[in-house]
Homo-oligomer: A and B are copies of this chain.
Amino acid sequence: MRFLGISIFLILFTFAFANEDFNTHRPLIVEFFENSEPHLKRTLHLECTSWRFAVEANNLSPWKIIPQECADYVRQYITGGAYKMEIDRVSTEAGAFAESMKLGEDGKDVWIFDVDETLLSNLPYYSQHGYGLEVFDSVEFDKWVEKGEAPAIGSSLKLYQDVMRLGFKVFLLTGRSERHRIVTVENLMNAGFQDWDKLILRGSEDHGKSATIYKSEKRNEMVEEGLRIVGNSGDQWSDLLGSSASIRSFKLPNPMYYIP
């Protein structure tokens, strides 16, 4: 009977999902699952994993915060080793692909990297803000950015050095604003990144554009210049999708926030 009750409840909840505003917090399972029995905790774990898969496979509509019930799950994922393992695997796959490519002799093969949560980690900031549980606060985040203290993501630094050694041009394409250029350069260099060909930030003409549009336009310009975009690494699908896409793109995990 209990199982039936739970099932009916979940079914009703599924219907409740369908009509909610896409941009609001959409609960997966109600709060009473907290402090409940092991099999319910297991169900919650499965629900949060399935939510995270939906994030990484780009199946979700734009979302602003992580599901509240998954707060513990996301923190555990980030701090317990799984996040690092997944990030490392993406770099390993990207590195193997980069090695496999025969580059032209004209020096026009490009690898694009996003910056935040791709080359640099903002975990020191997000650890203080519930790992995505709080609505993004651009004022607070800008203060963090201006400190210039974001550490490198280790396996991304290795990939960066590898593609550079292989002869790729390296373009950094970030959603950060031009007004953060100086601190971003300093931060990147202090974290070990050097010798990139171009660092592209959002100029005044780019404000108000979605990241997908802004980044597509910048890639279009590269292609118009005769460059070949071979690889692209980013933690958001808006880094990777759109026009002038790379031959292969590499999606780093990010369960903390979504940028359309």
Q: How many copies does the complex hold?
A: 2
B58 and A92 contact, CB distance less than 8 A? no
Contact of A90 among B46, B54, B61 (CB under 8 A): B54
Asked if A99 lies at the interface with its beta carbon under 8 angstroms from chain B, I say yes
Let me know if A95 and B18 touch, CB within 8 A. Answer: yes
Question: With an 8 A cutoff between CB atoms, is A53 at the interface?
Answer: yes
Q: What's the Cα separation between A90 and B56 when bound, in Å?
A: 12
Given contact pairs A46-B81, A61-B97, A96-B17, A89 touches B251 in the complex (Cβ within 8 A): no
Number of interface residues of A (CB under 8 A): 38
A136 on interface, CB distance cutoff 8 Å: no
The answer to whether B90 touches A59 (Cβ under 8 A) is: yes
Question: How many Å from the CB of A259 to the closest CB on chain B?
Answer: 16
Q: B56 and A57: CB pair below 8 A? A: yes
Interchain CA distance A213-B53 in the complex, whole Å: 26
| A34 on the B face (CB < 8 A) | no
